[in-house]
């Protein structure tokens, strides 16, 4: 049997069997790979820089809004912008990641029922890319149909996974609803049987039975996690939900431990002990968005506050000092990037992925 440390991959975007090996290596090695939502080349490059610096692999992820922003807010068609922005970002990562010397997973984030056509359009672009290059454009796409009835959620995931698997693409599904800003569900109701806040292991078992014969997939399960950052005490994480789901599948299907590939959404501000516990239960991917938005904004904001005149005058009206070196966007955008890199240093350490890159 090969151990995780023996697997080596070519730097660049990782897909198909290599991605599956990376997921397994993380689960076997007891670490989690950060998945960072990006909105432009500044954030992509900051993620690549931080991954290289920390010798960690990383997941670069686009929400539909991030993809639209990537294409440009002035782009005439919003749906096309969501599609082309994601394709453009993916192409940038395909070109650059190999030269940064790290392994990168390319992912898309939440797509509810209304956004299934977005995922299908990206699959179509991916199929063309696959015919031309012999490899997928995106490693994996997320479908979040957790607001639909379970049967409908799973049937639609099965339909998309069949298509995705034909070109070595994985999918991430969501069972139970992650609370927070995106859908207005908090965690005041602390009832373990509430299927919206806490994914039911029986539902995960159903997903496993339907989807595992079709292709590779991962599961974002709700265990009290909430999108965004809230006052302490608001989030009651119950990672034992993950453990119970893993054990149910393991027992019913006589698999090795942690058969499911689990994803942690809404982890900003979580206690380290709960993160560590989740990692033991097969969480290979943790989404980080809110904390990195703040890190970028904080880096830029600090500079603007320290140099307010440079953002009002090209030349100081009293001292006649030219401010070109300060208002040059490269100066302050770089500080945003550095803010992200510093916060990612923490993430790679907390998730224990630092030094574990499979790239060689």
List Cβ neighbours of 147 (8 Å cut-off, separation of 6 or more). Answer: 112, 113, 177, 183
- Evaluate whether 288 touches 328 at the Cβ level (below 8 Å): no
Residue 265 vs 356, nearer CB to Zn ion? 265
Catalytic-role residue among 18, 109, 203, 289: 109
Residue 177 vs 354, nearer CB to Zn ion? 177
Report how far residue 26's alpha carbon sits from residue 119's, in angstroms, rounded to the nearest whole number: 26
H or E stretch including 88?
helix 78-100
For the bound state, the minimum distance from the C-beta of residue 24 to Zn ion, rounded and expressed in Å, comes to 23
| Tokens encoding 97 | 């990641």
Residue nearest to Zn ion (CB): 265
The region that residue 25 occupies, defined by phi over 0 for left and psi between -120 and 50 for alpha, beta otherwise, is alpha
Report how far residue 315's alpha carbon sits from residue 317's, in angstroms, rounded to the nearest whole number: 6
Secondary structure (DSSP) of 10-45: -SEE--HHHHHHHHHHHHHHT--EEEEE--SHHHHH
For the bound state, the minimum distance from the C-beta of residue 263 to Zn ion, rounded and expressed in Å, comes to 8
Report how far residue 62's alpha carbon sits from residue 19's, in angstroms, rounded to the nearest whole number: 18
Coil, strand or helix at 209:
helix
For the bound state, the minimum distance from the C-beta of residue 267 to Zn ion, rounded and expressed in Å, comes to 9
Residue 141 vs 265, nearer CB to Zn ion? 265
Active site residue 109: yes
Residue 266 vs 339, nearer CB to Zn ion? 266
Residue 274 vs 356, nearer CB to Zn ion? 274
For the bound state, the minimum distance from the C-beta of residue 265 to Zn ion, rounded and expressed in Å, comes to 3
Angle CA 279–98–137, to nearest 5: 75
Query: Please, what is the end-to-end C-alpha distance for the chain in angstroms?
Result: 20
Residues that bind Zn ion (CB under 5 A): 265
Give CA 45 to chain center in angstroms: 16
Q: Where are the beta strands (DSSP E) in the chain?
A: 12-13, 33-37, 58-62, 103-108, 140-143, 170-175, 179-180, 217-221, 226-227, 262-264, 283-288
For the bound state, the minimum distance from the C-beta of residue 225 to Zn ion, rounded and expressed in Å, comes to 8
For the bound state, the minimum distance from the C-beta of residue 201 to Zn ion, rounded and expressed in Å, comes to 20
Residue 35 vs 47, nearer CB to Zn ion? 35
| Tokens encoding 318 | 């009293």
Coil, strand or helix at 260:
coil
For the bound state, the minimum distance from the C-beta of residue 199 to Zn ion, rounded and expressed in Å, comes to 13
Report how far residue 184's alpha carbon sits from residue 171's, in angstroms, rounded to the nearest whole number: 25
Residue 84 vs 262, nearer CB to Zn ion? 262
User: Annotated catalytic sites, by residue?
Assistant: 109
């Amino acid at each position: 049997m090969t151990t995780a440390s023996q697997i080596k991959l070519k730097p660049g975007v990782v897909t198909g069997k290599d991605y599956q090996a990376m997921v397994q290596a993380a689960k076997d090695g007891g670490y989690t790979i950060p998945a960072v939502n990006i909105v432009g080349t500044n954030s992509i490059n900051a993620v690549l820089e931080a991954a290289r610096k920390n010798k960690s692999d990383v997941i670069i992820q686009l929400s539909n809004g991030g993809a639209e922003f990537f294409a440009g807010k002035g782009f005439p068609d919003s749906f096309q912008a969501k599609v082309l922005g994601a394709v453009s970002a993916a192409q940038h990562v395909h070109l650059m990641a190999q030269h940064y010397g790290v392994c990168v997973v390319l992912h898309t984030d939440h797509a509810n029922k209304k956004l299934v056509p977005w995922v299908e359009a990206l699959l179509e672009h991916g199929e063309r890319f696959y015919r031309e290059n012999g490899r997928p454009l995106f490693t994996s796409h997320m479908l979040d149909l957790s607001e639909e009835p379970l049967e409908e959620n799973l049937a639609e995931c099965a339909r998309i996974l069949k298509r995705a698997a034909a070109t070595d693409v994985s999918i991430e599904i969501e069972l139970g609803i992650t609370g927070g800003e995106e859908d207005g569900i908090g965690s005041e109701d602390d009832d373990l049987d509430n299927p919206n806040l806490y994914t039911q292991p029986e539902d995960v078992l159903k997903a496993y039975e339907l989807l595992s014969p079709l292709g590779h997939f991962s599961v974002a399960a709700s265990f009290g996690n909430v999108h965004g950052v809230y006052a302490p005490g608001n989030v009651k994480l119950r990672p034992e939900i993950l453990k119970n789901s893993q054990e149910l599948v393991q027992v019913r299907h006589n698999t090795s431990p942690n058969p499911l590939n689990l994803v942690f959404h809404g982890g900003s501000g979580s206690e380290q002990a709960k993160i560590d516990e989740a990692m033991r239960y097969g969480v290979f991917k943790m989404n980080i968005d809110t904390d990195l938005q703040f890190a970028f904004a904080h880096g830029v904001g600090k500079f603007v506050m320290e140099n307010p005149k440079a953002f009002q005058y090209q030349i100081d009206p009293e001292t006649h000092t030219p401010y070109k070196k300060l208002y040059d966007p490269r100066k302050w955008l770089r500080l945003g990037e550095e803010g992200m890199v510093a916060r990612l240093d923490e993430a790679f350490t907390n998730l224990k992925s630092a030094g574990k890159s499979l790239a060689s």
